Chains A and B, each alone.
Chain A
Amino acid sequence: MKFFSKRSYRQKGYTLIEALVASGVLLIGVSAACSMSLSLVTQEEINERSVRAFNYLDNAARLYRLGMEPSEIPALLPNEPIVDSITFVSRQVSANGMGPTGTASLPIMRITMTYFPSGATAAYDKDVEQWTGGDKAATRSEHVDVLRSESVQVSEFSRVSTLAP
């Protein structure tokens, strides 16, 4: 009897309080994990979209260096839904050490791209590749200042420009 009595004591389960406390702790842990996962996945989504946006800006700069006109460049680049806008603004900068006077004015192009780093609150769209929650309307802008050399002759000679096809 003594043996069974002791065995019975050892087989006794957790109390309701203990179970509730344990469940609460577990719930808090799972919630934290879910929240953190959501944040991390959101961050990864932002990362991925940012890389695509930077590549878009890079390609725009390359096309400009190749001699494309700013008006032609957006049409030449592949459609990128996360990019909100790309603008080209030219200004003159001085270049020291150049020309008879020791300085020259050169045209430099500021290419500014604005994109949506997160498309989180929108419904899933395979083109947008939305994964998680967040503010999809938030935008971020980056720019580069590009100088290009006119390394090839341009069509500025007078003859052909005056000829009808």
Chain B
Amino acid sequence: MENEQLTVQRALAGDQAAMRALWTRHAPHVDVVVRRLVGHDPDLAADIAQEVWIQIFRALPSFRGDAQFGTWAHRIAVNRTLNALRRTRRMASVEVDVEDDTASVEPEGERALLAASIEEAAAKLSPGARTVFLLHDVEGYTHEEIAAELGITAGGSKSQLFKARAKLRVLLAHLVDAPANTKFQPESSHVAPLY
């Protein structure tokens, strides 16, 4: 927004009305990132969101204006939330989760656990897989950025993402599957793959 830089300048000068304006405009976006990464713990999410906003205003002098304020605040939200989750030891086993989180799901068994939304489905993933999926597919981070954030390799991030997608694909089958083509007749020599 063209005048947001002015609002930021006023906030930097200690104008609480400007700070409130920044919060009002960006809290619906920033707080949802925190909520998404934290998962089903609203109290923890609220605590972390408050920390995020304090950090945003604390770091405001370092905002150079070469990116949108919302983008800059979003990065702080992700970074601060991941740090907070590490503190609560939720992220302590990320690497283990990468290896342990398997994509081999039982289609019929999982169908009983279909999720109503991507958020609900992601909550069924391991914390590490959920974090990589959310950072890459929802927040738009690259594997290199995720690797730097989580202290894993880019290859590990990719591996975890693909496994997360495979599980989500099953959990959200009713939302992502196109209507079946009843005219399709598989070739007899073509064995259907196991997904």
The finding on whether chains A and B are genuine partners in a shared complex, rather than unrelated, reads: no
